[in-house]
Amino acid sequence: MISTSRKKLYEKLPLAAVIMITLFFFYQKALNRKPHCDYPVRTISSYQEALPEVDDDTLVLFDVDDTLITSPALNPNYFTWWFKMLFILRYPSHITLNWENAYSLLWATVPFTLTDPSVIDVIKSFQENHATVLALTSMESGSYGVIESMPAWRYAMLKHMGIEFSQQFADHVFSNFPAYRSNYPTLYKGILCANQQNKGDVLQAFLTYAKLKPSHIIAFDDSLTALQSIGKICEIAAISCTLIQYRHSETPTTWNTWHALKQFEHLIKEHRWISDEISS
């Protein structure tokens, strides 16, 4: 039942506005709804916790963003329509700004760090026990703005941090998927780039391509939805699996809109990111 105060508000609004507000309300509820978990998931906040044992017939999968690496500078507010609007109002000379190039500069220049440095030893331990260790990321597989190759860029970043994945499988493009931005899911130097496709489906395509049926799959991801899609494929393929949600605990960064506008404008002009301390 609609409250009296809300009913009075609705009576004063045009019908179109009421419809838009209602749709937005249900859209927000849908975004915040947790995925139904058909497959059990264990949650960890550190890679120093007790992890499953592996052998040469185990496939281990790691998501990348917010599971292996993070960047507090990549605040979600940068990617909103209202930030774009405020940026153009504050710096009207950028009204013709190519936003893909701008965002790619942001991705390419902000500092990334490991969510947990101990993950390097965890991955090496898995590999020393002859498990196959791959990345499975939603990341796009083509170019993005000033970044010529997202897979190559991400591979170089992880290698610099001390992480390299198993590379016994040749690089491959999975062109049987629908194209997204003219590209397809790709395996590049041990990194499975899902190119915004369902991770479970990409995993299934990889297993078919590699003619691989491991005895066990261990998947680390911060997304419950991704983990459930992997669990579903493991059930279909009759492969036992361990699904682990990694929840990175970091101190929330304070968002200052005008400060962020200044940082972003400096990035566009100088192609260089300035830290909060320098730009204050």
The predicted-structure confidence for 149-191, as pLDDT tens digits, reads as follows: 999 999 999 999 999 999 999 999 999 999 999 999 999 999 9
Rounded to an integer, what distance in angstroms lies between the CA atom of residue 255 and that of residue 77? 8
Mean pLDDT of the chain: 88
**This prediction's pTM:** 0.84
The mean pLDDT value for 16-38 works out to 54
Task: Specify the pLDDT at position 280.
Answer: 46
Q: Quickly list DSSP for 151-167.
A: HHHHHHHHHHHT-----
Cβ-count burial 81-113 (b if 16+ within 10 Å, e if not): eebbebbeeebeebeeeeeeebbbbbbbebebe
Distance of CA 36 to the CA centre of its chain: 20
Q: Tell me the per-residue pLDDT of 66-101, one tens digit each, with 9 for 90 and over.
A: 999 999 899 999 999 999 999 999 999 999 999 999
Q: Tell me the per-residue pLDDT of 129-152, one tens digit each, with 9 for 90 and over.
A: 999 999 999 999 999 999 999 999
Task: Specify the pLDDT at position 249.
Answer: 73
* Residue 228 neighbours by CB under 8 Å, 6+ apart: 35, 36, 37, 38, 39, 41, 200, 243
